[in-house]
Structure 1
Amino acid sequence: MEAVLYICHGSRVQEASAQAISFVKKCMETNEFQGIQEYSFLELSEPAIEEGFRNCVEKGATIIHIIPVLLLTAAHAKKDIPEVLEKLSIKYPHVQIKYGRPIGVHPQMVEIVADKIRNTSLYQETNEEILVILVGRGSSDPDVKQDLGKIASLIEKRVERITVEDCYLTAAQPSFEEALQIAEHSTYRHVLVIPYLLFTGILMKSMEKTINKIKSTDKEYVLAPYLGYDPLIAGILKERVDEMMVGNEYALITG
Structure 2
Amino acid sequence: MSTPTSDESAPGATAAFDDEAVLLIGHGSRREKSNEQVRELAAGLESRLGIPVDAAFLELAEPAIDEAFAGLEPVADRVTVVHCSLFAASHVKNDVPLAIEQARAEYDLAIDNGAHLGIHPAILDLLDDRAAAVEAELGVDREEDDVAVVLCGRGSSDPDANGDVHKLARLLYEGREFDRVEATFIGVTEPTLEDTLHGLSKHRPDAVVVLPYMLGDGVLTQRVRDWTAEFDDDYPYVDALAGDPLGTDSRLLDVFADRWQEARSGNVEMSCDTCKYKVDLEGYEEDVGGARAMLRALAHQETHADREDVDDEPHSHDAPEKHVAVCMNQTCAEMGSPAVLERLRQEVRDSEHCDARITRSSCLGRCGDGPMVAVYPDGIWYGDVASEDAERIVSDHLDRDRIVSDLVDQTL
- Correspondent of 1:134 among 147, 151, 154: 151
Superposed, 1:15-164 pairs within 5 Å as: 15-32=33-50, 34=51, 36-59=52-75, 61-92=76-107, 94-120=108-134, 121=136, 125-126=140-141, 127-164=144-181
1:225 CA drift (Å): 1.0
Give, as a single letter, the amino acid of the residue that structure 2 aligns with 1:83.
L
What corresponds to 1:199 in structure 2? 216
Q: In structure 1, give the amino acid aligned to 2:167.
A: K
Whole-angstrom CA distance in 2 between matches of 1:3 and 1:77? 20
User: 2:56 and 2:218 mapped to 1: Cα distance?
Assistant: 17
Letter in 2 for 1:244: A
Looking at structure 2, the residues matched to 116 and 217 of structure 1 have their Cα atoms a distance apart, in angstroms, of 23
Greater mean deviation of Cα atoms: 218-227 or 238-247: 238-247
SS at structure 1 position matched to 2:55: strand
TM-score with structure 2 length normalisation?
Answer: 0.57
Q: Which moved more, 1:221-230 or 1:123-132?
A: 123-132
1:7 CA drift (Å) = 0.3
1:144-223 matched pairs, under 5 angstroms: 144-214=161-231, 215-223=234-242
Distance 1:245 1:125, change over 3 A: same
Distance verdict in 2 for CA 1:107–1:71, change over 3 Å: same
Q: Which amino acid aligns with 1:70?
A: S
Give, in whole Å, the separation in 1 of the partners of 2:227 and 2:216. 18
Give 4+ residue runs of structure 1 displaced > 4 Å after superposition. none
C-alpha deviations, 1:170-191, integer Å up to 9, x for none?
2221111211221233322311
Q: Which string of whole-angstrom CA distances, capped at 9 and with x for unpartnered residues, describes residues 116-170 of structure 1?
A: 2234315763421111000011101011121111111111013213310000112
**Mean CA deviation greater in 154-163 or 123-132:** 123-132
Rounded to whole Å, the distance in 1 between the matches of 2:123 and 2:220 is 20
Structure having greater relative contact order (Cα 8 Å, sep ≥ 6): 1
> Is this contact kept in 1: 2:56–2:63, CA < 8 A?
yes
Separation (CA, whole Å) in 1 of partners of 2:147 and 2:70 = 49
What code does the residue aligned with 1:54 have? A
Q: Report if the CA contact (8 A) 1:117-1:123 is conserved.
A: no
Change in CA separation of 1:123 and 1:157 when aligned onto 2, cut-off 3 Å: farther
Which stretch of structure 1 is more off in the superposition, 179-188 or 64-73?
179-188
CA distance in 2, matches of 1:122, 1:130: 13
With over 3 angstroms needed to count, the CA separation of the structure-2 counterparts of 1:55 and 1:229, relative to structure 1, is same
Residue by residue over 1:53-84, the C-alpha shift from the partner in whole angstroms, topping out at 9 and shown as x without a partner, is 1111132x222111111111111101111111
1:195 Cα deviation from its structure 2 partner:
0.7
Percent identity, please: 28
Corresponding letter in the other structure for 2:83: P
Number of residue pairs matched?
Answer: 249
Q: Report if the CA contact (8 A) 1:135-1:196 is conserved.
A: yes
- Equivalent pair of 1:37/1:56 in contact (CA under 8 Å): no
Aligned residue type for 1:16: S
How far apart are residue 217 of structure 1 and its match?
Answer: 1.7
Is the alpha carbon distance of 1:249 and 1:63 closer, same or farther for their aligned partners in structure 2, counting shifts above 3 Å? farther
Q: Is the 8 A contact 1:69 1:102 kept in 2?
A: yes
Residues 22-76 of structure 1 show CA distances to partners (whole Å, capped at 9, x for unaligned) of 12211221123x3x321111111111111111111132x2221111111111111
8 Å CA contact retained: 2:45, 2:53: no
**Root-mean-square deviation over aligned CA pairs:** 1.9
Q: Establish whether residue 224 from structure 1 lines up as the match of residue 238 from structure 2.
A: no
SS in 2 for 1:79: helix
Please list every run of 5 or more consecutive structure 1 residues that lacks an aligned counterpart in the other structure: none
More deviation in 181-190 or 197-206? 181-190
Provide the C-alpha distance between the structure 2 equivalents of 1:184 and 1:199, rounded to a whole number of angstroms.
28
Which segment drifts farther, 103-112 or 240-249?
240-249
